[in-house]
A and B are shown apart, each in its own frame.
Chain A
Amino acid sequence: MSHNSKRSPFLVTMLCFGMAFLYIPMFMLVFYSFNYSKIVPVWGGFSTRWYTTLFESEEVWEAVILSLKIASISACFATILGTLAGIALVRFGRFRGHTLFSGMITAPLVMPEVITGLSLLLLFIALGDVFGWPEKRGFSTITIAHITFSMAFVAVIIQSRLAGMTQDLEEAAQDLGAKPLRVLIDITLPLLMPGMMAGWLLAFTLSLDDLIIASFVSGPGAVTLPMLIYSRVRVGLHPDINALGTIIIVVVAIGVLLAGWIMLRQQKQRKLEETLSGN
């Protein structure tokens, strides 16, 4: 069982099975989006009519725009707050409340969404009673809820990047007389940029994907895309939802492939530079 031993047939079988398990449902979703028949699992010939239905639906567009707005704004705030939290937890030693703070950062990662959703809704209602804000629930309350749970994910990414980073550059800057705040802004933050970008993307996706928390804290008139999908899907299969799913899968796949390609190119470039510099 050494490192370079032949491929174990068992492992290869499991891998193929796992990939099939992950991808066949998605493939079927895409396949039936081109089905003419209104009944999803019965094939009635090739057609793109569900895409037309989808694009003509004002409801869908409104939901898409609302979801994108919430996702981009909450991702920005979550990245800022999560980065601050990550820096505080890794670089500031043990300050007062450290344990509570790190507990509050990890808990949202695994907290069941029904609990987060219910508790935030009750908070917004209580705040509304006492301070008169939020007057009505919707865009702002969903955004706040999404910031709160996705900043935890950003903080974990930043924490792990910071912990894995050598402090050589920061120490060098400090030795040359830079004040700690300068070091943070000029050295640490630029080094953290890739982590912050990954965090932003993750926060953006988490927000776009969230159904439960948004359903709890939303109010009349504010329907996000997952909420719209859910209200349709609950009563049965909808071919236009298949079309929507196909678009999402294609967009994500292109994005992920692009990111993978960029990463691979950077890796190659680094290797090339290393060989050129004689390492």
Chain B
Amino acid sequence: MSQENNSMAGFNTSSYKLPNTSLWQKLSHKLQKNWKSAVIFIPFFWLLLFFLAPFFIVLKISLSEATIASPPYLPMVSWLDEGIVQIKIVIDNFAYLWEDDLYVDTYINSVRIAGVSTFICLLLGYPIAYAIVRAPQTTKNILLLLIILPFWTSFLLRVYAWIGLLSDQGSINDLLLYIGIIDEPIRLLYTQFAVYVGIVYTYLPFMILPLYANMEKLDLTLLEAASDLGSKPFTTFLTVTLPLTIPGIIAGSLLVFIPATGEYVIPDLLGGGNVLMIGRVLYNEFAANFDWPVASAVAIALLLVLVLPMMLYQRIQAQEVEAKQ
């Protein structure tokens, strides 16, 4: 008790001796000396609080027991009588995911849809990026602007535009009927096909831009050398161009694959109820079923699926910065 009083008194005297101005001076002096730490600390702290800490909360709730209450889960740590602390970790939520075929299928389906879409993006994006690299300078700038422009407009509205194109009375059906390929409208909207179209459409620029950045650094004299030595264009492509652009291919593919796996809007708007993807399941568990522990377990499991590709992406990003320096 007396110690506490002493420290209180000590605090009082010291704050009395330091009027506001000199405190400020002291602070600014400290800042001047430690400004580097401040530059690191401010964004670091922000990310720790708003990016890393939330994951531990998700992890904690995924290991808690669900209940009908608010919040809809039981606390993990509880005080029993006589000061005994009870820590209850439940893996039921994960077991539930694992045993229910619906969830397993949804994970597999999400990875498959994202994987196939990534491959289609690559097939389309690679020649487009290559064509842009080889275009004359002015055309190149215009083409690049055209690739970037959709990125600045609303993603949601661009997905919405496809509803109008794909619906039974939509433009694509109209066109096919007019040409006479089909006699009655075919179902395009609310199918897996529509989801593929939506993902490829949305993520294509994310494939083209890293590929372009990579190809632009390509040493064209190597290609000339190959052709001078009698290599056929296709062989040159397979043995020179393709291997040299692998970093671009990996970066672009990861940039498409990872977010596409957790996609929510596209399967919801274009797939209707027919296409199960994990992002939708997560949202529904949380918002409709109000089952926070299962929603958290779904999120953690999705992270586990994506942790390897994400680490790979992180590595490439770091290497790129280092290579530039």
By a beta-carbon cutoff of 8 Å, the part of chain A in contact with chain B is 1-3, 7-8, 10-12, 14-15, 17-19, 21-26, 28-29, 32, 39-42, 81-82, 84-85, 87-90, 92, 95, 97, 101-115, 118-120, 122-123, 125-126, 129, 144-145, 147-148, 151, 155-156, 159-160, 163-164, 180-181, 205, 208-209, 211-212, 216, 226, 229-230, 233-234, 237, 241-242, 244-245, 248-249, 252-253, 255-257, 260, 263-264
Contact = CB atoms under 8 A, between A and B. Distances in A.
A110 B35 contact: no
Nearest to A110: B258
A22 B150 contact: yes
A233 B163 contact: yes
B42 interface: yes
A107 B310 CA distance: 7
A32 B171 CA distance: 11
Top 7 A-B pairs ranked by shortest CB distance? A112-B262, A119-B54, A163-B324, A85-B43, A25-B161, A14-B127, A11-B131
A32 B169 CA distance: 13
B43 A119 contact: no
Q: Which of A42, A244, A256 has the most CB of B within 10 A?
A: A256
A56 to B, nearest CB: 20
B283 A112 contact: no
B152 A29 contact: no
B91 interface: no
B117 interface: no
Interface string B262-295: 1111001100000000010011001000001001
Contact of B321 (A1, A85, A163, A242): A163
B296 interface: yes
Given A2-B227, A160-B321, A29 B157 contact: yes
A89 B82 CA distance: 50
Contact of B158 (A25, A144, A253): A25
Contact of B302 (A102, A105, A115, A156): A115
Contact of B282 (A39, A114, A181): A114
Q: Could you tell me the dominant secondary structure of chain A's interface residues?
A: helix
A18 B314 contact: no
Nearest to A163: B324
B299 A81 contact: no
A110 B54 contact: no
B40 A15 contact: no
Given A106-B314, A226-B156, A244-B157, A22 B61 contact: no
B154 A208 contact: yes
Contacts of A245: 153-154, 157, 160-161
Q: Could you tell me the dominant secondary structure of chain B's interface residues?
A: helix
A28 B55 contact: no
Contacts of A230: 156, 265
Contact of A15 (B58, B132, B282, B303): B132
Q: Which of A23, A97, A122, A159 has the most CB of B within 10 A?
A: A122
24 contacts: A1-B226, A2-B223, A14-B127, A18-B124, A22-B147, A22-B201, A29-B157, A41-B167, A85-B47, A89-B321, A92-B40, A107-B310, A110-B310, A114-B299, A115-B303, A118-B282, A118-B299, A122-B292, A123-B50, A123-B53, A147-B50, A212-B283, A226-B156, A230-B265
A229 B156 contact: yes
Nearest to A22: B150
Contact of A106 (B52, B53, B317): B317
Nearest to A77: B46
Nearest to A95: B40
B22 interface: no
A15 B128 contact: yes
Interface string B295-325: 1100100110010011001100110111011
Interface string B228-260: 000001001100000000000000001100110
Contact of B50 (A115, A120, A160): A120
B152 A255 contact: yes
